[in-house]
Structure 1
């Protein structure tokens, strides 16, 4: 079973799940708690298929582009990885945080409080970048609107998101399409409204990023 709520950290979400299933790329990174362990889920460029573990996982999903400032690590160094927080931070600090979370009646709230204490203020440029790409604007147009050259935009994106702006735009487009398809919008209309050339283009992207045909993906959820 999976539950999720909005976090007091702007744009973030606190969630709990059983550790099994298919995690799709979404432009975000997560701080994870599981059986006394603190881990970081880096930015995914393809579906991450978790094992059939039945134990409970709790996570704080940061809004796109914000986790690297919290972690002090560029996102591209964690791309498609799940790593122990102790590999990134001093072990004594991580031990203290583990004890704090273990002693809390709600691990999700404890994760949230840690993030609130340490998170940097949102970067207006990164928020504008995500908003522009999520609205379907081309990368070149977005770069011009933000006053950034293509190379500088690419460098900023690697640090913040783990990949370039074109990959980020593709992932955000996938999420838009899935949100529509889950409400029952026909696949052809979903493709058109999400910015795909046609339904075949949507089908290819879903297979490449999610690892399943769209119909099977929706049924599995």
Structure 2
């Protein structure tokens, strides 16, 4: 692949649109990206504690460096542990982030995905083609958001729900930013450590320990992107020291904390996935 384009300002590369209201499915968020540059954009996808669906209407390509897979169109990535890259010149993509608790029912897969990149048709079958045709028939992002949300709602309503204990464990991990011990979680849900470990892995797709590390890494990565020093981030995120932070960042993202701090993928997060960015994105999308 060509070298990574050193783009820091997401607004200079993409127009970003957001739904007019939050999804009615808790644990689902959406954003749309449309490119306005002739340059080839090639960026590393920074791991995030959610499964991600990419619905591409342009020439986007996702590459799983670890598994060797390459995918276009409508694809899903699992709770990625790194090694996924995206590239393209004509950026026209709707991105959906799904909590693994929601994804277990809505996608019908969690542990089966792992960190892989798979075509949505492998999970949804012929329904995928029908949804893609409806999405391609409109260029309105709001209509596209509605179509995707309706499809997810149907699947979520009929799919297999995670155990209430697993739902609780995931929410506790997320609210503690990955800083809760598995033994304590097991005590809180009233299960043995072995049972929690087994059920969590089968329904979420990672072991409790790996999921907690991913959530903690995500918090650290956003602090780094916000300009905080590695020393401060290590303390704020619960790492033993900077070396511990460095090892985790390398394990998840494949780059150093310094490189994560300027990652274009995280620059998008400030606009597309935060409340502060909602107004900015909507203003641009309606301009």
- TM bin (shorter chain): 0.7 to 0.9
TM-score, normalised via structure 1 length: 0.86
Distance change (3 Å), C-alpha of 1:213 and 1:2 = farther
Q: Does 1:49 align with 2:49?
A: no
State the alpha-carbon separation in 2 of the partners of residues 71 and 43 from structure 1. Answer: 13
Aligned length, in residue pairs: 219
Q: Does 1:162 align with 2:202?
A: no
Unaligned runs of at least 5 residues, structure 1: none
Aligned residue runs from structure 1 range 1-221, under 5 A: 1=14, 3=16, 5=18, 6-17=22-33, 20-35=42-57, 37-73=73-109, 75-91=110-126, 93-104=127-138, 105-106=140-141, 107-120=144-157, 124-134=164-174, 135=176, 136-221=179-264
Shift of 1:176: 1.4
Unaligned runs of at least 5 residues, structure 2: 1-13, 36-40, 59-72, 265-287
Once the two structures are overlaid, the 10-residue window that deviates more, 99-108 or 169-178, is 99-108
- Per-residue CA distance 1:22-70 (angstroms, 9 max, x = gap): 2222221123211393322222122412234533221211123220211
Distance change (3 Å), C-alpha of 1:3 and 1:151 = farther
Structure 1 segments of 4+ aligned residues over 6 angstroms from their partners = none
Does the 8 Å contact 2:162/2:203 carry over to 1? no
State the alpha-carbon separation in 2 of the partners of residues 97 and 160 from structure 1. Answer: 26
